[in-house]
Structure 1
Amino acid sequence: METIGIPRATAIDMFYRQIILNKGIPFSLTIPKSLPAQDDMDEKTFNALMAKGYDQAAQSDSYPIDDVFEELDR
């Protein structure tokens, strides 16, 4: 979103407005035949997935859920 100059909060607002206008999710949803699970991953893959999540949290690349819902209520 940063590349095209749209703040994350605005993108989330746009998404919810599309849900309202379309009376549902504005794109098709699919569920993969299998979801990633720790039991199905080797240690290297699992550790890489956990490291990615940790890096996002460490860089504050997330929002507290209460803040997200508060923003949506505006």
Structure 2
Amino acid sequence: MATKSSSFYARIDPDIKLQAENILSGLGISTSCAIDIFFRQIVLHKGLPFEVKFPYEKPIIVSSLTPEELNTEIQKGYEDILAGRTKMIDEAITDMQKDFQL
């Protein structure tokens, strides 16, 4: 195995860094080890080892749905309610605002 002798400097949002370090610590992985793993995955995949996209589906345009598609979407919503996968409106708005803060 090659000796690790290269280093780099990166500017990272302090809050994101702290959150990531806390997660890595819980996994028993150092930041340096995580960066090494990430770089190795970049080499193996010949690019980023994950998709870079928003973590949600494209919003549904109700007027473009067929009656069958609309019924399917309504059924999904009903099943979410029955399964308790709901949020109060204030919480949903707060979560959406967090998703768009960079």
TM class, shorter-chain normalised?
0.3 to 0.5
Query: Normalized against structure 2, the TM-score is what?
Result: 0.31
Q: Which has the larger radius of gyration?
A: 2
More helix by share: 1
